């Protein structure tokens, strides 16, 4: 492979020097990139100059922009045909790169980016291609599938990128990569990026690249040493609960919680807000301006917890972040390094905590091997530890409050209360007030049963409808739409939720949760009776396991719904109260013994 001496090639010290199209410069400014990274400073001028390049660079060096910006500069927005193809080894990387390039193209009207990868339906990808997307980011296998179906045509391609080429070969994609290179027009530019340069990659470069400029940049210096790395084993469905407890006892000024998908960002962010935590979420769906505002609030202290996807949090540099939680353990060890680098900034101490489900522990080992560190296992704090922490914090504020004075009103209230309740011990009174102040309502009522129980009941319900014995759906007939989000005809009809008027719940909130999270329509929800600590809801069509699962993570009036099939009054205490609110026409069929 003939290689130019890097110093003979231009090296840019500012983005302005690169003279990128105006729209791209605006996107860079929006992202807050101030100076080009080493790989960008050297790769962008060469690529803009029409040269092929071989970049030896890892994730975290800014390589996506190094090839993405010149790629976009080469795209003709008026030509509705594929002009650039980026091959990546994994679907995650394809998604990330596509999202990054879309962000870089935010001010380039008419430029569309599509990600194509296996394991997801063909049709939406095919439609995006038919609509004239100019940039395709995909995994080699799926790109070949599209080529073979002629849903992807390479005739107008003038720009090819092989990202993480060594990984692609290691994963056995050599043949597919070769095929794409062979089928693309000869008049094209190729940028090959690889973390390592084994002979197989050199051969690809020699065979398919023309006089490439070779650029090697060192791995970015890591901040990892100032970060204490920990993990906890948490079953999937307990993650939000575990996160809340972790945040409750954390001493960090601010925390960032990484999740894998946009949906999870919204879900986790909203769950934290409902629990009264100063939190917000950002994902690729949140507009750039809004994202910036949120990050600014995090920086200023107006916000303490940010839930984010990897792409949305790229380049985020906020000193206050003392804790990074990997709510979803990242698939790529590089992503892990990247995520935990968001804490321990500016020489501060930071902690990283990764949640792993019991069967994800292999991934943890992979991270340990790649980062050459051992993660320390920690236990999720128990509710008692959370309460102890909160009460300790509460009491730590007391001396200052006493100092401030003007407590007569409260002293008198204490005296009156003790006088009216002669049996009450003053320490008990203080303890009860402390418990209430930290939100400890005492032992949970017996009706606070678990999701497992609800699922079990749904499975064992006499009329199973479309649910098979093992609980999955029967395959829909041809042409019949699969209804995973809706109810099952003939399923259990009466459901019990663990929120009642004591929690301030209104029928509208319940209907909202059932139609929003549960995917039902208003018509699916029948009568609602709201009691003191629980409510009964008629859902004549029953609930699918899918809907149940989502509802199990739903909160109404700040409390978990804990939805389960109602089995009528049992040993869990008489229903001595009538419902205050009803939705629907008929009278209660069981339950309330008397109305107040």
Give the strand order in the sheet containing 213-216. 113-116, 135-138, 84-87, 159-162, 189-194, 53-56, 213-216
Give me the residues paired with residue 232 across strands.
355
**Sole binder of ligand AMP in the list 42, 63, 291, 342 (CB under 6 A):** 63
Bridge pairing between strands 254-258 and 189-194: unpaired
Considering the complex, what minimum distance in angstroms separates the CB of residue 37 from ligand AMP? 5
| Residue 33 or 122 with smaller CB distance to ligand AMP | 33
Residue 15 sits at φ, ψ, to 5 deg, of -65, -35
Q: Is the separation of the CB atoms in 342 and 326 below 8 Å?
A: no
**Sole binder of ligand AMP in the list 18, 20, 27, 36 (CB under 6 A):** 36
314 binds ligand AMP (CB under 6 A): yes
Distance CA 364, CA 355 (A): 10
User: What Rg value do the Cα atoms of the chain yield, rounded?
Assistant: 29
Could you tell me which stretch among 60-68, 514-522, 533-541, 573-581 binds ligand AMP (CB under 6 A)? 60-68
Both structure tokens of 448: 């606070």
579 binds ligand AMP (CB under 6 A): no
62 binds ligand AMP (CB under 6 A): yes
Q: Is the separation of the CB atoms in 369 and 221 below 8 Å?
A: no
Both structure tokens of 76: 């003709």
552 binds ligand AMP (CB under 6 A): no
60 binds ligand AMP (CB under 6 A): yes
Could you tell me which stretch among 62-70, 78-86, 194-202, 522-530 binds ligand AMP (CB under 6 A)? 62-70
Considering the complex, what minimum distance in angstroms separates the CB of residue 299 from ligand AMP? 16
| Residue 60 or 465 with smaller CB distance to ligand AMP | 60
| Residue 195 or 247 with smaller CB distance to ligand AMP | 195
| Residue 91 or 239 with smaller CB distance to ligand AMP | 91
65 binds ligand AMP (CB under 6 A): yes
> Which is nearest to 147 in space by CA: 170, 178, 168, 169?
178
Report in angstroms the alpha-carbon separations of 168 from 164, 201, 478. 6, 10, 37
**Sole binder of ligand AMP in the list 61, 229, 343, 354 (CB under 6 A):** 61
526 binds ligand AMP (CB under 6 A): no
Q: Is the separation of the CB atoms in 176 and 148 below 8 Å?
A: no
Considering the complex, what minimum distance in angstroms separates the CB of residue 466 from ligand AMP? 44
| Residue 274 or 292 with smaller CB distance to ligand AMP | 292
333 binds ligand AMP (CB under 6 A): no
| Residue 6 or 32 with smaller CB distance to ligand AMP | 32
Considering the complex, what minimum distance in angstroms separates the CB of residue 36 from ligand AMP? 5
223 binds ligand AMP (CB under 6 A): no
| Residue 91 or 314 with smaller CB distance to ligand AMP | 314
473 binds ligand AMP (CB under 6 A): no
Q: Is the separation of the CB atoms in 551 and 564 below 8 Å?
A: no
Number of residues that bind ligand AMP (CB under 6 A): 13
Q: Is the separation of the CB atoms in 387 and 438 below 8 Å?
A: yes
Q: By beta-carbon distance, which residue lies closest to ligand AMP?
A: 314
Distance CA 516, CA 538 (A): 16
37 binds ligand AMP (CB under 6 A): yes
17 binds ligand AMP (CB under 6 A): no
3-state SS, 448-498, equals CCCHHHHHHHHHHCCCCCCECCCCCECCCCCCCCCCCCCCCCCCCCEEEEC
Distance CA 543, CA 494 (A): 10
Residue 141: alpha-carbon gap to chain centroid: 26
584 binds ligand AMP (CB under 6 A): no
| N-to-C CA span, the chain | 88
* 479 CB-contact burial (10 Å; exposed 0-12 / middle 13-18 / buried 19+): exposed
| Residue 154 or 224 with smaller CB distance to ligand AMP | 224
- Restricted to residues 257-286, the positions that interact with ligand AMP (CB under 6 A) are none
DSSP string, 131-190: TT-SEEEE-HHHHHHHHHHTSS--TT--EEEETTHHHHHHTT-HHHHHHHHHHS-SS-EE
**Sole binder of ligand AMP in the list 6, 110, 172, 315 (CB under 6 A):** 315
Give the DSSP H/E element, type plus range, for residue 499. none
Considering the complex, what minimum distance in angstroms separates the CB of residue 215 from ligand AMP? 14
134 binds ligand AMP (CB under 6 A): no
Could you tell me which stretch among 63-71, 126-134, 427-435, 540-548 binds ligand AMP (CB under 6 A)? 63-71
Distance CA 233, CA 582 (A): 42
Residue 573: alpha-carbon gap to chain centroid: 40
Q: Looking at the chain, how many residues does it have?
A: 596
Could you tell me which stretch among 55-63, 146-154, 251-259, 544-552 binds ligand AMP (CB under 6 A)? 55-63
| Residue 46 or 554 with smaller CB distance to ligand AMP | 46
> Which is nearest to 173 in space by CA: 201, 135, 215?
201
Could you tell me which stretch among 61-69, 347-355, 378-386, 447-455 binds ligand AMP (CB under 6 A)? 61-69
Could you tell me which stretch among 32-40, 73-81, 119-127, 186-194 binds ligand AMP (CB under 6 A)? 32-40
| Residue 13 or 424 with smaller CB distance to ligand AMP | 13
| Residue 62 or 518 with smaller CB distance to ligand AMP | 62
Considering the complex, what minimum distance in angstroms separates the CB of residue 55 from ligand AMP? 11
Kindly list the residues in this chain that would bind ligand AMP in the complex (CB under 6 A).
33, 36-37, 40, 59-65, 314-315
């Amino acid at each position: 492979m003939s290689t130019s001496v890097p110093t003979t090639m231009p090296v840019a010290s500012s983005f302005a020097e690169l003279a990128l199209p105006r729209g791209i410069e605006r996107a860079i400014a929006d992202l807050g990139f101030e100076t080009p990274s080493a790989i960008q400073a050297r790769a962008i001028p060469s690529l803009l100059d029409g040269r092929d390049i071989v970049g030896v660079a890892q994730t975290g060096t800014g390589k996506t922009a190094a090839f993405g910006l010149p790629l976009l500069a080469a795209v003709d927005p008026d030509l509705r045909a594929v002009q650039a193809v980026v091959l990546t080894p994994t679907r995650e990387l394809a998604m990330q790169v596509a999202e990054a390039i879309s962000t870089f193209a935010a001010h380039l009207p008419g430029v569309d980016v599509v990600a194509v990868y296996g394991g997801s339906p063909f049709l939406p990808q095919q439609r995006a291609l038919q609509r004239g997307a100019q940039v395709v980011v995909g995994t080699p296998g799926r790109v070949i599938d599209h080529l073979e179906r002629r849903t992807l045509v390479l005739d107008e391609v003038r720009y090819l990128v092989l990202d993480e080429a060594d990984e692609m070969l290691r994963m056995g994609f050599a043949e597919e990569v070769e095929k794409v290179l062979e089928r693309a027009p000869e008049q094209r530019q190729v940028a090959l990026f690889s973390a390592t340069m084994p002979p197989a990659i050199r051969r690809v470069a020699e065979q398919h690249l023309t006089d490439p400029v070779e650029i090697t940049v060192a791995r970015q210096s890591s901040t990892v040493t100032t970060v204490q790395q920990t993990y906890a084993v948490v079953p999937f469905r307990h993650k939000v609960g575990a996160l809340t407890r972790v945040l409750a006892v954390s001493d960090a000024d601010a925390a960032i919680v990484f999740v894998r998908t946009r949906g999870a960002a919204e879900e986790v962010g909203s769950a934290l807000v409902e629990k009264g935590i100063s939190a917000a979420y950002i994902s690729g769906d949140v507009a750039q301006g809004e994202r910036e505002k949120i990050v600014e609030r995090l920086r200023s202290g107006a916000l303490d917890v940010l839930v984010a996807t990897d792409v949305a949090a790229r380049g985020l540099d906020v000193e206050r972040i003392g804790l990074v939680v990997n709510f979803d353990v990242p698939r790529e060890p590089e992503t892990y390094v990247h995520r935990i680098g968001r804490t321990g900034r500016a020489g501060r101490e930071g902690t990283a905590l990764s949640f792993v489900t019991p069967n994800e522990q292999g991934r943890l080992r992979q991270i340990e091997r790649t980062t050459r560190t051992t993660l320390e296992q920690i236990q999720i704090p128990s509710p008692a530890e959370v309460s102890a922490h909160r009460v300790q914090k509460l009491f730590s504020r007391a001396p200052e409050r006493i100092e401030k004075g003007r407590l007569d009103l409260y002293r008198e209230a204490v005296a009156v209360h003790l006088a009216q309740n002669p049996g009450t011990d003053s320490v008990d009174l203080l303890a009860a007030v402390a418990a209430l102040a930290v939100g400890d309502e005492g032992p949970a009522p017996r009706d606070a049963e678990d999701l497992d129980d609800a699922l079990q009941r749904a499975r064992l319900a006499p009329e199973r409808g479309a649910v098979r014995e093992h609980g999955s759906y029967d395959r829909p007939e041809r042409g019949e739409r699969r209804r995973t989000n809706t109810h099952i005809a003939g399923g259990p009809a009466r459901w019990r939720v663990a929120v009642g008027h004591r929690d301030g719940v209104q029928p509208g909130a319940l209907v909202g949760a059932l139609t929003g999270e549960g995917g039902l329509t208003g018509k699916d929800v029948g009568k609602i009776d709201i009691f003191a600590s629980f409510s009964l809801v008629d859902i004549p069509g029953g609930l699918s396991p899918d809907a149940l699962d989502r509802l199990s993570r739903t909160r109404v009036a700040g409390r978990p719904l804990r939805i389960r099939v109602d089995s009528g009054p049992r040993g869990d205490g008489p229903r001595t109260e009538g419902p205050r609110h009803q939705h629907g026409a008929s009278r209660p069929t069981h339950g309330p013994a008397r109305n107040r």
